[in-house]
């Protein structure tokens, strides 16, 4: 199995996980969930946003959920946020879009997790490489990171 900054970070933290590498390209959230033996809501999308002050925040949401922009702006106390560019994603996280994980980031960044993730005991996060995911216990995810929990989806 390949080693990634994500798996290295998890091992250093003593977190139990399973790396799942898909046999071929992943074309949809539903396909990723099905092949990993999960429901779409167990796939965690790690979305990087640029704040109006030039800083960044990584928002973790359940796969099919949509971030509520007004709710996120209100929660952060800002009037303007934008989706980070692919170049920003790579620079800030160290990962390509589609492979982003909250573990093993290039830079320290504020982490916000949607409460919708609390619905499942097992979650799958980005593995740091394309067409792969890391399965782990939700409680291990919550224990291993400094997460702010909020309702940020519609």
Beta bridge partners of 43: 124
Residues 133 and 55: their CA atoms lie apart, in Å, by 27
Query: pLDDT value at position 75?
Result: 95
**Could you tell me the residue ranges of all domains in the chain?**
5-150
Residues 47 and 80: their CA atoms lie apart, in Å, by 16
How does pLDDT run across 35-76, given as a tens digit for each residue? 999 999 999 999 999 999 999 999 999 999 999 999 999 999
Which value, in Å, is the radius of gyration of the alpha carbons in the chain?
Answer: 15
Question: Between vectors from CA 43 to CA 73 and to CA 81, what angle results, nearest 5°?
Answer: 15
Q: pTM for this structure?
A: 0.95
Residues 95 and 90: their CA atoms lie apart, in Å, by 5
Which residue ranges in the chain fall short of pLDDT 70?
1
CATH homologous superfamily of 5-150: YbaK/aminoacyl-tRNA synthetase-associated domain (3.90.960.10)
Query: pLDDT value at position 2?
Result: 77
């Amino acid at each position: 199995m390949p080693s990634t900054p994500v798996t290295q970070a998890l091992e250093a933290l003593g977190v139990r996980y399973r790396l799942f590498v898909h046999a071929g390209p992943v074309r949809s959230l539903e396909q990723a969930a099905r092949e990993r033996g999960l429901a779409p809501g167990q796939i965690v999308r790690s979305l990087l946003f640029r704040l109006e002050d030039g800083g960044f925040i990584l928002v973790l949401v359940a796969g099919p959920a949509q971030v509520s922009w007004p709710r996120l702006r209100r929660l952060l106390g800002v009037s303007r946020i934008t989706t980070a560019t692919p170049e920003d994603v790579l620079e800030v996280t160290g990962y390509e879009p589609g492979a982003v994980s909250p573990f093993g980031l290039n830079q320290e960044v504020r982490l916000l997790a949607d409460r919708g993730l609390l619905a499942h005991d097992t979650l799958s996060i980005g593995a740091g490489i394309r067409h792969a995911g890391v399965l782990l216990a939700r409680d291990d995810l919550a224990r291993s990171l400094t997460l702010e929990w909020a309702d940020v989806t519609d």
